[in-house]
Structure 1
């Protein structure tokens, strides 16, 4: 079996990159498959996660992200030009490689890859939710494009041999598509140590950008600190991105420098989970938040906004975490204080959180992928 994954890049410590690394590592350990990763925007940067040596990586040099700072018109023209080059280069590669299965992780090739007749089966894997393009609330021309592309997504996904989403919630938004399957992300063992719920530390992990909503987290943390009850608790955010300076400004302006800190991403995040007692998620949208299930596997109860999609599939209210109405900053602060202020409850929730591995065990999840690949290659 030859398997190709298409992704924007693998240089960032994001959840999608983490999930791909988990899968590719599993295939190389448990099968004799050939695996190739094809990127568009790697730009010579090293992979953040240590992909196995036998996995080949090829960058097409499209560099869509070079247009991010341009005007709306410049972005549109740049995207169309780069997509034509992308289509040509990817077709040449696929015709040369002749893979059995090609998986698109929903970058730009999803609109044209089913038309490439290289003999492979095509799988589309969505790591967000159906409405991810609309969560930014953009206005004007870009807002119209977001709405148009969301409608086009409904047409695009039907053209693949399989379309895979992460949650039952998201499946409901797409409707009764004949090629639709739900396969969640798997959780892997990140650390030999587990949290016992005693550390007075809250952790958040993710890219410092709009999606993860860490500005909302800091506003809630300000409320927590103003209560005067939790001055011995600390909030640690691990991530990098374009919002770093803005978030640092909130910390300084709100007088949180003694209790909140932003750290660079770490390859030893499991140890950081074990040194914490609570994980918090404030995203505007998700697919299935990898950091949430990884943190829970390490014994962390979770407090999260009820965003689309993922948290309501994972959290059992009051048992392994607390869900808060999306955007309710005061409610988020109250939920944090509810868990932080009750040692016995927090430790009980910690024990329940570890049971997440029963649902998202690697062997079970990867077995579902194996059966999917076998079924479409037999067809």
Structure 2
């Protein structure tokens, strides 16, 4: 069977690129699929993650004004589909243009939308004018129904969309968790790009309050920095540079979890929270804001971590202090976290994808 994935780019260190490499490699190596990936503006090179050497890469050059951009996307997409002739198309793109793929193509070929974000996601801090935001949400809701299948990463995510063509398939864990952290180091870890939706600015403000009482603890943040370097400037303004270390993305992030004692997430929006299951598989308790809409489907409250009311800074600080001060609770939650991560084993999840592809092709 021939699959075509449509994605903005895969030459980055983000979670979508990581998951796509893991899934496409498995589909090729275990099930014998032929996989094509269509990116935009040379978004397939150079690759950060390892993709199977048999994958076929295609690219669309998109630029110009809004209408020129969309016109290039529409014409280029039709041309590529005609050339590739896939059995199934999978769209992995949060951009508004992605929701128009079924309309643009108007084809009998099954088209799956793989949703990697909340319906309410904002990549930049919203202005006081909310009309455009409401229009975008309505557009997404209507367009989501046009796909053959709408795949959400969690039950909570699917409930956000309220579509009849929906199904839940979580992301798989990409490494085999052999060892666990001993949870003895005075380090906590966070992973995410320096962007508005990841909410790392909120984390720094929380950490400032934590180290007033626990100045011997360090926060390590792994993620792609921005040209403006706003987070480092904020850390400097908060006078916490001695207790925060910023790292660029690394491929062996699973090894870095083993040096930490628990994991922090302060995202404003999430589609799933891949980093949470990575941390849990490494035996780390997790603390996360209950944002739309990933963490609440992963963390079991007071069992393997803490789910904090979104934006409740004081409760978040208390949760961190609880794990810092109670090593016994850390160890208990860490064991539960590792057990909880087992349901994300790659074999079962990829068999679900395999059966989905087989089923929609037959129908």
Contact 2:281 2:342 in 1 (8 A): no
Residue deviations 1:152-205 (CA, integer Å, cap 9, x gap):
111111111101111111222222x33111111111226643212112110000
Q: For 1:285-304, what aligned pairs fall within 5 Å after superposition?
A: 285-304=269-288
Report the counterpart of residue 323 of structure 1 in structure 2.
Answer: 307
Contact 1:123 1:163 in 2 (8 A): yes
Are positions 1:168 and 2:155 aligned together? Answer: yes
Whole-Å Cα distance in 2 between the matches of residues 318 and 243 of structure 1? 38
Contact 2:4 2:89 in 1 (8 A): yes
Report the counterpart of residue 310 of structure 1 in structure 2.
Answer: 294
Q: For 1:136-151, what aligned pairs fall within 5 Å after superposition?
A: 136-140=125-129, 143-151=130-138
Question: TM-score normalized by structure 2?
Answer: 0.94
Whole-Å Cα distance in 2 between the matches of residues 81 and 356 of structure 1? 48
Report the counterpart of residue 118 of structure 2 in structure 1.
Answer: 129
Instruction: Using the TM superposition, give the Cα deviation of residue 135 of structure 1 relative to its aligned residue in structure 2, in angstroms.
Output: 8.2
Report the counterpart of residue 272 of structure 1 in structure 2.
Answer: 256
The unaligned stretches of length 5 or more in structure 1 are: 68-77
Contact 1:187 1:293 in 2 (8 A): yes
Report the counterpart of residue 165 of structure 2 in structure 1.
Answer: 179
Contact 2:283 2:335 in 1 (8 A): yes
Determine helix, strand or coil for the equivalent of 1:160.
coil
Report the counterpart of residue 196 of structure 1 in structure 2.
Answer: 182
Whole-Å Cα distance in 2 between the matches of residues 241 and 262 of structure 1? 9
Determine helix, strand or coil for the equivalent of 2:50.
coil
Change (3 A) 1:14 1:134: closer
- Aligned mate of 1:81, from 44, 68, 82: 68
Q: For 1:240-251, what aligned pairs fall within 5 Å after superposition?
A: 240-242=224-226, 245-251=229-235
Report the counterpart of residue 35 of structure 1 in structure 2.
Answer: 35
Report the counterpart of residue 95 of structure 1 in structure 2.
Answer: 82
Instruction: Using the TM superposition, give the Cα deviation of residue 27 of structure 1 relative to its aligned residue in structure 2, in angstroms.
Output: 0.9
The unaligned stretches of length 5 or more in structure 2 are: none
Instruction: Using the TM superposition, give the Cα deviation of residue 25 of structure 1 relative to its aligned residue in structure 2, in angstroms.
Output: 1.3
Whole-Å Cα distance in 2 between the matches of residues 16 and 356 of structure 1? 22
Residue deviations 1:60-119 (CA, integer Å, cap 9, x gap):
1225xxx8xxxxxxxxxx233201101101110101110000100134232133441555
Determine helix, strand or coil for the equivalent of 1:258.
helix
Contact 1:129 1:285 in 2 (8 A): yes
Question: TM-score normalized by structure 1?
Answer: 0.90
Whole-Å Cα distance in 2 between the matches of residues 2 and 109 of structure 1? 20
Please identify, of 152-161 and 202-211, the stretch whose mean Cα deviation from structure 2 is larger: 152-161
Please identify, of 326-335 and 208-217, the stretch whose mean Cα deviation from structure 2 is larger: 326-335
Whole-Å Cα distance in 1 between the matches of residues 222 and 73 of structure 2? 33
Residue deviations 1:204-223 (CA, integer Å, cap 9, x gap):
00110101111110101000
Whole-Å Cα distance in 1 between the matches of residues 67 and 98 of structure 2? 12
Q: For the aligned residues, what is the CA RMSD?
A: 1.8
Change (3 A) 1:198 1:185: same
Change (3 A) 1:45 1:241: farther
Whole-Å Cα distance in 1 between the matches of residues 340 and 145 of structure 2? 32
Are positions 1:2 and 2:2 aligned together? Answer: yes
Report the counterpart of residue 26 of structure 1 in structure 2.
Answer: 26
Report the counterpart of residue 72 of structure 1 in structure 2.
Answer: none
Are positions 1:209 and 2:195 aligned together? Answer: yes
Instruction: Using the TM superposition, give the Cα deviation of residue 241 of structure 1 relative to its aligned residue in structure 2, in angstroms.
Output: 3.4
Whole-Å Cα distance in 2 between the matches of residues 117 and 312 of structure 1? 36
Determine helix, strand or coil for the equivalent of 1:237.
strand
Determine helix, strand or coil for the equivalent of 1:159.
coil
